[in-house]
Amino acid sequence: MRFALLSDIHGNLEALEAVLRDIANQGSIDAYFCLGDIVGYGADPESCLERITSLSCIAVAGNHDHAAIGCLDPSYFNDYARHAALWTRAQLSAGATQYLRSLSLVVHTNSFSVVHGSLHSPELFNYIQNVKDAERNFSRMDNSLLFVGHSHQPQSFYRSNPMLYSYGYEISIYPQCKTIVNIGSVGQPRDDDPRASYAIYDEESAKVTICRVNYDIDKAADKILSAGLPDALALRLSLGK
Ligand code: ZN
């Protein structure tokens, strides 16, 4: 089986469409997974939700999805994220709101699990950014492989002794070694590389590949400015911050 995994689209339709075109060129995909934060920050939340639902994506909720439907207090965010969350809430149709409300926090398949932030109290949307965070998650993993998003930075952790982590884009999966893979962000990368990020997991070759895709950043940024959203949300796209 081959899986395409997307996370942190954040209402960036230009990035999402570029990623979907790239995936279409990668051969057959058996299932799509979305690791949360479909909306928030970007100017096209409703269109991004339509694209994700049309793919029959298996999705989990992120903190921005929860904020957009009133399940998370926006005071949790900084000023401009709060502005974007309230703007997004006002844009969403009843159907989109209902869809976001239907998402669970964690999904387990036969061979891997997906969560937006952390398996440790997933409703708190903690980050996995260092070996301590990773260990807290390894101890909660039934499957040997966990995919996460949330930090917008591709990174992987192996439960070895001592624990190893990598920022590489070709990640070998060993069934006997628990592994956490952060697949980066489609719509707002924060690793100083502005290209959209997503992952392909090929079970047969036991390999996860992080893929980076150029997209029309200027168009996405212009839409953010035209919508009256904070200009920092437009500027950061070209910086990868
Ligand atoms: Zn996010």
Whole-number pLDDT of residue 90: 95
Closest CA to 23 of 48, 42, 2: 2
Ligand 1 centre distance from Cα of residue 37 (Å): 5
CB of 14 closer than 8 Å to CB of 22: no
Whole-number pLDDT of residue 34: 98
Whole-number pLDDT of residue 74: 81
CB of 230 closer than 8 Å to CB of 214: no
With tokens 């937006």, the residue in question is 116
Ligand 1 centre distance from Cα of residue 202 (Å): 25
Ligand 1 centre distance from Cα of residue 45 (Å): 13
- Model pTM score: 0.97
Partners of 202 in beta bridges: 2, 207
The residue ranges of DSSP E strands in the chain, in sequence order, are 2-6, 31-34, 58-59, 106-108, 112-115, 145-148, 155-158, 164-166, 170-172, 179-182, 196-202, 207-213
Which residues are in the CB-under-5-Å shell of ion ligand 1? 8, 37
Ligand 1 centre distance from Cα of residue 27 (Å): 27
Distances (CA, A) of 234 to 25, 29, 196: 28, 32, 15
Closest CA to 18 of 144, 171, 196, 159: 196
What is the chain's pLDDT, residue by residue, as a tens digit (241 residues)?
Answer: 999 999 999 999 999 999 999 999 988 999 999 999 999 999 999 999 999 999 999 999 999 999 999 999 888 888 988 999 999 999 999 999 999 999 999 999 999 999 999 999 999 999 999 999 999 999 999 999 999 999 999 999 999 999 999 999 999 999 899 999 999 999 999 999 999 999 999 999 999 999 999 999 999 999 999 999 999 999 999 999 9
Ligand 1 centre distance from Cα of residue 228 (Å): 20
